[in-house]
Amino acid sequence: MLILLATLLRLAVLSEAKLRTCKARNLPAIDVFGLEVLDVSARAQHGYPEASRDVPVDAEPIDFCNVTITYTHPGQNDTINAYIWLPFDHWNGKLLGQGGGAWASGDEASLAASVALGYAGTTSDSGHSIFGDVQDVAVNAEKWALLSPGNMNWALVQDFAARALDDLPKIAKQIVKGFYGEAPSYSYWNGCSTGGRQGLMSAQRFPGNYDGILAVAPAISWASLAAVAFWPQVVMQREKYWPPACELEAIRQAAVKSCDEIDGVKDGIIAAPGLCLFNANTIVGSTFDCEGAKRNITAAAARIANAIWGGPVRTMNGQREWYGITHGTSFGGSGPYGVFDGLATTTCADGNDNCHGNPFPVSATWIQYFIEKDPDYDVTQMSEDDFFRALHRSRNEYGSIMDTSDPDLSEFKALGGKIVHWHGLADQLISPNGSSSYYSRVLALDPEARDFYRYFEAPGVKHCAGGIGAFPGNALEALVNWVENGAVPERLEAASIPAGEGEKIRERVLCPWPLVAAFKGGDVDAAGSYECEEVFGQARGLHTEL
């Protein structure tokens, strides 16, 4: 009877929301310490085309009240927009904050997905636009990073790093309560890359803002990552050789062939990159196909590949400063992700000859605008010494501002919060070793951290999504079930996303780290053929997928 009454009450609330005019004057005054509201706008949107990058749902038109709160932090000379989308029908009583990617702190498509799933969705622009061409809003920061050459816009840097992230749920919860007549029963965060960093930032610095956080491929140590992403370009500059994409791809495929079966399954995926010892020097001189032309692997390309896998290492003393990408991961090229397809991307002027570096623009922007603070600084001429000096400065100046590497999550744990964190092992932009290293430090500080925080690795999955591996599309659902019903996610169900019609779907289970999905026999593409164990169990022999 109580459940029936609660359901009827919720339907009444939703009916009232639908009948209510979506007008700014109907919304409550925002009261958040330290900010001043400049403008409130609200408009009804009907038949909006749902789309999503991070939350897979059926694409159907949605109806919602689109609210924008424009505000400032007095004295900071900033202007920030908080976006809250409120479904007229089928509100599930919850709030879902959505993260962004690269320099964009929010994402419109993910807001639409929130509404389609029944949530009140919210995101922030943290003081610079999240709408427009990706080259303008996601991969470059030249429009807002500097007040003038040599002078950082520290207010906007801090807004992007954390300040606006703390404002957002405080604003959104007040709007939700004013619109529906009740506060959200639960609040969640979902984000990948920058969005994953934002999720961990929330858990570390603002532990009371969300009940559950889904952090995917998070840019945990931003001050290191943003500079380290330029390492492949430094290596090529050092070698004075910029391989065509086909040569690096041939080396990648050779690594896959060598290490594919470590996990006991031959499927074109290196599921145990930490056990892959492939050295590109072993294939120097071998022939490969480059768009119909026969070429040979060069010694320079092999050295470049090994240096990228190894991560930034100082030549003078052999000191490793960060992780490299995993074996089997895309080096770059002309893949579907464009500038996001890898960190060793090159552009060739004459077919596959006369190539030059094409730096990952997020990293290039970081070095130009945030480290050198000079828009005219030529990153393509960076020497190895220049690079390590820049990395050192980056950590000194921005580690305490941007990084989310604090392993102390005791406050978040005490408040009952839960975290699901996963990372693709074929991530071409952010090494998954950064995630496993951070999680290890969390466990070292709190051996019982698995009670509220689970980390998973997804073999063959690229940055946020993509690749031939199995994508855990139910991760948000698993998080919600953990928070609301106490169902601990002992595994995540995952399935590959078909690249074309008729392509077979590969099912897998993702296991809580450090457990791995060991093949137990049967259909190699069925999730039921795998169990979570400490090792892959190579002694059972290898299974070859036909």
Catalytic residues: 193, 427, 463
Residue of 54, 207, 181, 205 whose CA lies nearest to 117: 54
Taking the C-alpha atoms of residue 423 and residue 193, their distance in angstroms, rounded to an integer, is 10
Contact criterion met (CB below 8 Å) for 123 and 172: no
Q: Radius of gyration of the chain from Cα atoms?
A: 24
Q: Report in angstroms the alpha-carbon separations of 369 from 140, 151, 228, 266.
A: 10, 9, 15, 45
Could you tell me which residues come within 8 angstroms of residue 182 by beta carbon, excluding any fewer than 6 positions away? Answer: 13, 93
> Residue 21, SS3?
coil
Q: Residue 341 carries which DSSP code?
A: S
Q: Residue 451 carries which DSSP code?
A: G
For residue 18, give both structure tokens: 């639908």
Q: b/e map of 233-245 (b: 16 or more CB within 10 Å)?
A: bbbbbbbebbbbb
Which amino acid makes up residue 21? Answer: T
Q: Are strands 120-124 and 146-148 parallel, antiparallel or unpaired?
A: unpaired
Contact criterion met (CB below 8 Å) for 446 and 413: yes
Q: Report in angstroms the alpha-carbon separations of 280 from 136, 251, 285, 288, 336.
A: 37, 7, 11, 14, 25
Q: Is the dihedral of CA 227, 231, 233, 239 positive or negative?
A: positive
> Could you give the residue ranges of the DSSP H alpha helices within 103-153?
108-116, 134-137
Which amino acid makes up residue 181? Answer: G
Q: Residue 295 carries which DSSP code?
A: E
Contact criterion met (CB below 8 Å) for 435 and 336: no
> Could you give the residue ranges of the DSSP H alpha helices within 138-242?
154-158, 164-180, 194-205, 222-228, 231-239
Taking the C-alpha atoms of residue 218 and residue 209, their distance in angstroms, rounded to an integer, is 18
For residue 429, give both structure tokens: 């932009």
Residue of 331, 284, 289 whose CA lies nearest to 307: 331
